[in-house]
Structure 1
Amino acid sequence: MADWTGWRFILTVCVTSVLVVEADIKAHTPVGQLFVFELQRETFQNEFEPFLKHYGRVYNDPMLFKCNMQSFPDLPGWLRFTQRHHYDNGFLYGTPLAQGKSMIEITVTNKRSYDTFRDRLIITIDPPAKRMPYQAEFFIPLREIEKVLPSTVQEEIRQDMMRMWKTDRLDFVNITSALDRGGRVPLPLAGHYEGVYVKVGSDQYFSECLLRLQTAEHRRQCEAGGRAKIPGDCKVCSYPGNCVTWCKSTLIDLSRPVIPPPAPTMGPGILDAGGVYEPPESPPPRDFLPDYIVTVIVPLALAIILCLLLAYIMCCRREGVYRRDGKTPDIQLYHHHTIHGNTSELRSMAGCRGVPPPLSTLSMFNARTGETAPPFQTDSPSIPLILAQQEINTDTLPR
């Protein structure tokens, strides 16, 4: 019975793996509004281990997400991806600016088993859902990009800004990390964050507390010390990490379209009859002689003067024994004269010694007994060389 249960499990796995059809993930977003899609590790964990939950085995594996546009190595220009750690979820976020459709390939790698799973996300970009001519961008210094993208945190920030704006018709336009704006990477310590720029929009005009951002007094306070005094009704943040920096916040009014400058008027390009063509005046001639003197002649003259000075010091300022003329000193002759005099002095001192030479310097001296042997004529034909060497050795002589 146990064998049949095992075979049934294997058969179920095989049949299920054959019948599984990868379904595309579909998402919709309007033009001009923030799009966020969260890649949850738990969802893809079920794809790697679909049958282990039934047997009491649940894994929490680290996963690596890689996203790119279909048939392309990177993402569209309006879309970005972030994943801080392999144990964190990934986020695709951005603000589309034109209608269309984007197909994103998602490749998931299980860092425990190194299995790979691939899925596809189809993003349909619809026409603008609403018109938001009044927009405001706020800087939140105590946040990081992946901590702001979850829907719960977005709702907290939205509720705070709705109280500041005095309206509930408020939507996110864009969320950008301060690193993408040229900010510096923070230290990997607690309490250091990269900061996030949050842009929201509405069809309602700005409130009174937001209009203070455009006053001259507010700009003067920011330029003086970097901090501006904000009334109590604007200091609304339910969580300290969601408080904004007012000196880095701006208001954007799109209700007044910017009139482009008029195009230049083009003439017919035909010279009037009887007219005379007058070409533009050529620039005045320029004399390059002063530049040539400063860049070439002056450095060359300085180099020649330095060479002559060095030659005079090396050749004409030598000291020592005078030459044959008795006036010009010669340092080589002086060295030679000094060596010759020292040698003569050492020889005269050696000749005046009256002490007999030590015995160790004499020939045929025995260092152990102190005896000396008379010199032999080792080259005599009557004494063999080997016999003479044996007799010379005084250690073997009888005493």
Structure 2
Amino acid sequence: MAEWTSLVLTVCLASVLVVKADIKVHTPVGQLFVFELQRDTFQNEFPPFLRHYGRVYNDPMVFKCNKQAFPDLPDWLRFTQRHPYNNGFLYGTPLAQGKTTIEITVINKRSYDTAKDRLIITVDPPAKRMPYQAEFFISMRDIEQVLPSTVQEDIKRDLKRIWKTKTLDFVNITSALDRGGRVPLPLAGHFEGVYVKVGSDQYFTECLLRLQTAEHRRQCEVAGKDTVPGDCTVCSYSGICVTWCKSTLIDLSRPVAPHPAPTVGTGILDAGSVYDPPESPPPRDFLPDYIVTVIVPLALAILLCALLAYIMCCRREGLEKRDAKTPDIQLYHHHTIHENTTELRSMAAGRGVPPPLSTRSMFNSRTGETAPSFQTESPRVPLILAQQ
């Protein structure tokens, strides 16, 4: 029984996890490294979602990448994947030699199966010397649209024509969002922009040298739009055209004098010298801040409370003033309604009481009996004449 259980567990684990050989790649120091995580490669590792229909679905996949035994990627390496139906890209520029192992976890968002793989990146010494570098800005593309090798070749082909050289290599590709750019609107025709840095061992052409002139910078500031310096109008595809006002040149052939290191003393005063401490800052008067922060809001609150109390308590008319403004006939009807209501409530206890006065007629033509007149001290109540 134990042997059958172990056999079943082995078969189940073999159906979920696929053991593959490690992926080994090499890249030189100082040049762009791009590795595309293709979904088609991992699609074969997952069983079809509906096997009995004989169909293989284009499953959405999400890639998770991290350095082995670490929760994140190395400092020089980045990962991007726009949508689960798109391929992922690992890209960056290594600055030091060494070997890095990247763990790749693939999650199938349809069946929630997982697969793992390992990428071993070996960083070799610099293969080429590129003292002359230039950084160009492409405004009509996102980062994942520039990383494929076919697009890189198109960009490099145009830059070679501008630079007039055949030895041109990518140094780095960075999204404009990593440089402080704003997130574009989720509309067609709006892109985040990409900075592309290339390098060569050949000096800049006259067309590129115009980027450093004061006239070109003045035209960019005055015109408010991109200006093409000279004959730098090479653009095979409209989506990968260079924005010249945001392009710069970098000359690494000129040695830069390092800043002098600060002199470090012994920390001990000489004999007979006096320690002169730095002056303390002058005392600050916090009374104006206290008045603006506490006194002024408190005075406004007290003023508003007094105004509210006056409106609610001192502006009331009172009962006598209200009655003086009310017509006499309206007051008489009001008193009559109250008296009738009180009388009807008193009759609720029994039915053997005499009929209320309100039910008697004002004048009986047969007997000549009349109802007693309404007695009141107010001379403003009008008299009701009996019918004759």
TM-score (norm 2): 0.70
Pick aligned residue for 2:84 from 83, 86, 107: 86
CA contact (8 A) 1:45 1:59 kept: no
Cα gap change, 1:307 to 1:123, in 2 (>3 Å)? closer
3-state SS of 1:263 partner:
coil
Pick aligned residue for 1:249 from 243, 247, 251: 247
How far does residue 103 in structure 1 lie from its aligned partner after superposition?
Answer: 0.9
1:141 equivalent in structure 2? 139
1:179 equivalent in structure 2? 177
CA contact (8 A) 1:137 1:251 kept: yes
Larger radius of gyration: 1
Equivalent position amino acid for 1:180 in 2: D
Note the alpha carbon deviations across 1:255-279, whole angstroms, 9 max, x for none. Answer: 2243332223334433333334444
| Structure 2 CA distance for aligned equivalents of residues 171 and 86 of structure 1 | 31
| Structure 2 CA distance for aligned equivalents of residues 184 and 237 of structure 1 | 26
1:61 equivalent in structure 2? 58
> What is the aligned-residue identity percentage?
74
| Structure 2 CA distance for aligned equivalents of residues 191 and 72 of structure 1 | 38
Equivalent position amino acid for 1:207 in 2: T
Gaps of 5+ in 1: 1-13, 51-56, 321-330, 358-399
How far does residue 192 in structure 1 lie from its aligned partner after superposition?
Answer: 2.7
Cα gap change, 1:308 to 1:220, in 2 (>3 Å)? same
Pick aligned residue for 2:209 from 190, 208, 211: 211
Pick aligned residue for 2:235 from 219, 228, 237: 237
Cα gap change, 1:262 to 1:356, in 2 (>3 Å)? farther
Equivalent position amino acid for 1:354 in 2: M
How far does residue 203 in structure 1 lie from its aligned partner after superposition?
Answer: 1.6
CA contact (8 A) 1:62 1:110 kept: yes
How far does residue 232 in structure 1 lie from its aligned partner after superposition?
Answer: 5.5
1:354 equivalent in structure 2? 362
| Structure 2 CA distance for aligned equivalents of residues 138 and 35 of structure 1 | 18
| Structure 2 CA distance for aligned equivalents of residues 286 and 114 of structure 1 | 64
| Structure 1 CA distance for aligned equivalents of residues 364 and 135 of structure 2 | 110
Cα gap change, 1:270 to 1:108, in 2 (>3 Å)? closer
Equivalent position amino acid for 2:58 in 1: D
1:1-399 equivalence runs, <5 A = 22-48=20-46, 59=56, 61-64=58-61, 65-231=63-229, 233-289=231-287, 292=290, 331-335=318-322, 342-343=331-332, 354-355=362-363
CA contact (8 A) 2:107 2:115 kept: yes
1:364 equivalent in structure 2? none
3-state SS of 1:258 partner:
coil
Cα gap change, 1:332 to 1:268, in 2 (>3 Å)? same
Equivalent position amino acid for 1:59 in 2: V
3-state SS of 2:44 partner:
helix
Equivalent position amino acid for 1:116 in 2: T
| Structure 2 CA distance for aligned equivalents of residues 309 and 189 of structure 1 | 53
1:363 equivalent in structure 2? none
Cα gap change, 1:121 to 1:269, in 2 (>3 Å)? closer
| Structure 2 CA distance for aligned equivalents of residues 314 and 22 of structure 1 | 83
Note the alpha carbon deviations across 1:270-308, whole angstroms, 9 max, x for none. Answer: 333333444444444455555555555566566666666
Equivalent position amino acid for 2:31 in 1: Q
| Structure 1 CA distance for aligned equivalents of residues 74 and 170 of structure 2 | 20
| Structure 2 CA distance for aligned equivalents of residues 258 and 67 of structure 1 | 38
Q: CA RMSD in A?
A: 3.7
CA contact (8 A) 1:61 1:111 kept: no
Cα gap change, 1:139 to 1:286, in 2 (>3 Å)? closer
TM-score (norm 1): 0.69
- The aligned length equals 324
Equivalent position amino acid for 1:83 in 2: Q
* Range moving further from structure 2, 186-195 or 173-182: 186-195
